């Protein structure tokens, strides 16, 4: 979710042309300066929105995991309570049996034996009764402890759930507030921006044609990929990719590039992971799922899956990360990648060589 740097560069160049016009140069210079200042503010705002949206996505993944754990724990607690009730009934039945059966104690059994064989049989009978009592007692203790443990886990999970829900609501409010401020800034220079949108669309169409031609030149395959699950955490993890060597990309990578390119032009929508709208990590979730690789909807978590890929070894289909792993795209080859940049933009192609992407490059992963 990054402001289109290429578009910013085009706008700056166009504003430079405008200022060269002989009509009212002082006023035009002032307007250009205002527009460039607005663009700088919007760019800084988009960097913060990157982090806010992916923190929101991360909290959503956490919340879904907590909800699943809660549901499983409730079932296990119900089972433990049923088992404990059954064990309590066995204790009650045993007490009643002892009370009504007039069973002799061990000493009485020994003294009442008529022979050695009779003595052995009597003692064995008492031992069997004692063993059963011990098992009943053990079951009661175990199920009682399990019920207590499950209740504690539920209380802890519910507390964590309340915390994450509150954090998620705060992040949503922050995002919506920043989006409103961003829209207000954009509105102040909408005339300058609207005159350049057609040029940017034409540039994107040219890049899309080149990318699709490149994909068609590769041989598709149907094999899939796997990845490990990230450990749960309370905060989005900081990027720390392992420097282990990366294997050649699986053949699914050509497929995932083709999938992502199919959705060029789809509007950015924060929290989105469908053709009705994507955010940056949502585009990866949807595209990789189409080739059988399932990722969490969080760029922070995606950054810790798969294998580290050196920048010099990037292959089409690798995930490329920026800005502390708060933004992600899919590498398509030739130094370019496809991504969902930011609100108000669409799924598009950008270059790793562009200033912002080059300076904030965080690493790449292969799934």
Q: Which residues are catalytic?
A: 280, 327, 339
| Dihedrals phi, psi of 276, to nearest 5 degrees | -80, -15
Yes or no: say if 322 and 241 are a contact pair by the CB < 8 Å rule.
no
Residue partners of 319: CB distance under 8 A and separation at least 6? 284, 302, 303, 306, 328, 329, 330, 331, 364, 365, 366, 367
Yes or no: say if 8 and 38 are a contact pair by the CB < 8 Å rule.
no
Backbone Cα Rg of the chain:
33
Secondary structure of 269-324 as H, E, C letters: CCCCEECCEECHHHHHHHHHHCCCCCCCCCHHHHCCCCEECCHHHCCCCCEEEECC
Three-state secondary-structure class, residue 233? coil
- By C-alpha distance, which of 304, 307, 352, 361 is closest to 332? 352
Question: Residue 350 — left, alpha, or beta (φ > 0 → left; ψ -120 to 50 → alpha)?
Answer: beta
Q: DSSP letters of 19-75?
A: HTSSSSHHHHHHHHHHHHHHHHHHHHHHHHHHHHHHHHHHHHHHHHHHHHHHHHHHH
State the Cα torsion 200-205-206-207 to the nearest 10°: 90
Residue partners of 115: CB distance under 8 A and separation at least 6? none
């Amino acid at each position: 979710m990054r402001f289109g740097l290429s578009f910013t560069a085009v706008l700056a160049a166009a504003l430079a042309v405008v200022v060269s016009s002989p009509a009212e140069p002082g006023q035009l210079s002032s307007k250009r300066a205002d527009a460039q200042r607005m663009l700088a503010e919007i760019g800084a705002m988009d960097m913060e929105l990157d982090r806010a949206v992916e923190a929101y996505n991360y909290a959503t993944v956490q919340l879904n995991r907590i909800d699943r754990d809660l549901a499983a724990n409730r079932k296990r607690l119900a089972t433990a309570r049923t088992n404990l009730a059954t064990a309590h009934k066995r204790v009650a039945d045993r007490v009643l049996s002892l009370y009504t059966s007039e069973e002799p104690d061990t000493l009485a059994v020994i003294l009442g034996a008529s022979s050695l064989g009779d003595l052995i049989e009597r003692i064995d009978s008492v031992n069997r009764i004692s063993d059963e009592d011990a098992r009943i007692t053990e079951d009661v203790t175990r199920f009682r402890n399990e019920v207590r443990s499950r209740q504690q886990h539920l209380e802890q999970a519910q507390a964590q759930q309340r915390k994450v829900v509150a954090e998620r609501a705060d992040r949503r409010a922050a995002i919506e507030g920043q989006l409103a401020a961003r829209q207000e800034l954009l509105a102040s220079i909408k005339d300058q921006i609207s005159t350049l949108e057609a040029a940017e669309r034409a540039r994107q169409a040219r890049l899309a044609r080149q990318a699709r031609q490149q994909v068609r030149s590769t041989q598709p395959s149907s094999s899939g990929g796997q990845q490990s699950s990230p450990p749960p955490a309370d905060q989005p993890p900081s990027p720390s990719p392992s420097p282990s060597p990366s294997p050649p990309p699986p053949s699914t990578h050509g497929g995932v590039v083709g999938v992502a390119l199919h959705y060029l032009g789809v509007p950015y929508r924060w929290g989105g992971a469908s053709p009705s709208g994507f955010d940056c990590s949502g585009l990866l979730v949807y595209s990789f799922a189409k080739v059988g690789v399932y990722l969490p909807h969080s760029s922070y978590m995606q950054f810790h899956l798969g294998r580290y890929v050196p920048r010099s070894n990037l292959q089409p289909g690798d995930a490329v990360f920026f800005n502390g792993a708060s933004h992600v795209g899919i590498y398509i080859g030739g130094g370019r990648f496809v991504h969902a940049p930011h609100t108000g933009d669409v799924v598009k192609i950008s270059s790793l060589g562009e200033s912002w992407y080059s300076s904030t490059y965080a690493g790449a992963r292969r799934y």
